[in-house]
Amino acid sequence: MEYVTLNNGVKMPKLGFGVYQVEDQDECEQSVLSALNAGYRLLDTSAAYFNEEAVGNAIKKSNVAREDLFITTKLWIQDASYERAKKAFETSLKKLQLDYLDLYLIHQPFGDYYGAWHAMEELYKEGKIRAIGVSNFGSDRLVDLILNNEVTPAINQIEYHPYFQQKDAIKVMKDENVQPEAWSPLGHGGQILKNPILAEIAEKYHKSIAQVILRWDLQSKVVTIPKSVHQERIESNFDIFDFELTKVEMDIISSLDRNEFIADLHDVDLVKQLNELKVR
């Protein structure tokens, strides 16, 4: 496993396993167990994924020591305030059957996320969370949060894949010492997995296009959390530590950027839709 060191000195695996849209509890539990057996140690969930219990059950059933795991969950918009964030954290901790979290993120830059951040800062200082961060924060909101609070987010989890590279946002994160983390690293709808340029690179290394993309993430110093419920893909996505892309190949993949995104958080209808989603 390869690691990054966050801005507070905590080491985080570069490659993790996500469980977005895996709401079937048995399927989620089995997928997480398969991931842990394959070697993943970073697990990423959220209150809004409705599967924290399944992730917790898988952790409990696994033979992996707690100190070897890096567990992330996220605070939903509904709980974005000081008081509600404190309660939501305890709820997530109970569902995950854990005594502490490795990383707690504000899932969306909506609601009273300033109040939530103050609560998370306190939980961090109390040792209940090893690192705190945000998700889906644009550069303006990220920098504003940094300038007006004591603790700088360790992570900003954003949409990131070869067709949507957010180069300006990544630069801001680098300048502010915030680690970028990629959600949906393989894009959406499978189109990116048919790219002929990526296929040529993959053939050279006897790897899949997905493996090449995930390797590109790691070499770009972006933490990545692919998702799958299929054991073969779970294992394949982890098998990316035995090859390295050349600088030319890295540059070629970087040239594929189309500014083609899955979610536009500036879209009013999407903002309304996200705010309407309730986690309880």
Identify the sign of the CA torsion 28, 179, 270, 90.
Answer: positive
Q: What is the pLDDT of residues 152-182, one digit of tens each?
A: 999 999 999 999 999 999 999 999 999 999 9
CATH of the domain at 258: 3.20.20.100
In a domain, 146, yes or no: yes
Alpha helices in 25-138 (DSSP H): 25-38, 52-61, 82-96, 113-125
Q: Is the pTM of this model over 0.75?
A: yes
78 pLDDT higher than 90 = yes
The reported pLDDT for the residue numbered 150 is: 96
Tell me the average pLDDT across 108-134.
98
Question: Is residue 4 classed as helix, strand or coil in its secondary structure?
Answer: strand
Residues across the chain: 280
- Average pLDDT of the chain, as a whole number: 97
218 pLDDT band (50/70/90 cuts)? very high
* 231's tokens: 């054991």
In a domain, 4, yes or no: no
Tell me the average pLDDT across 26-41.
97
Whole-angstrom Cα distance, residue 4 to residue 11? 6
The reported pLDDT for the residue numbered 106 is: 98
In a domain, 201, yes or no: yes
Tell me the average pLDDT across 79-108.
98
In a domain, 147, yes or no: yes
In a domain, 143, yes or no: yes
The one catalytic residue in 49, 104, 113, 124 is 49
Q: Confirm if 56 and 95 have CB atoms less than 8 A apart.
A: yes
Tell me the average pLDDT across 243-267.
96
265 pLDDT higher than 80 = yes
Tell me the average pLDDT across 108-136.
98
Whole-angstrom Cα distance, residue 275 to residue 76? 9
The reported pLDDT for the residue numbered 112 is: 98
In a domain, 17, yes or no: yes
188 pLDDT band (50/70/90 cuts)? confident
The reported pLDDT for the residue numbered 48 is: 97
In a domain, 164, yes or no: yes
Whole-angstrom Cα distance, residue 164 to residue 167? 9
CA terminus-to-terminus distance, the chain: 36
Domain that holds residue 101: 11-275
> What is the phi/psi pair of residue 226, to 5°?
-65, 155
Q: Work out how many domains the chain is built from and give that number.
A: 1
The reported pLDDT for the residue numbered 189 is: 72
Q: Is 100 a catalytic residue?
A: no
Burial of 2 (0-12, 13-18, 19+ CB in 10 A): exposed
Q: Calculate ∠ Cα 216-221-223, nearest 5°.
A: 85
Q: Confirm if 274 and 147 have CB atoms less than 8 A apart.
A: no
CA 186 to chain centre: 13
Which of residues 187 and 5 earns the better pLDDT score? 5
Contacting residues for 272 by C-beta, under 8 A, at least 6 apart: none
Which residue is it, tokens 């490795």?
102
15 pLDDT higher than 90 = yes
Q: Confirm if 82 and 116 have CB atoms less than 8 A apart.
A: yes
In a domain, 280, yes or no: no
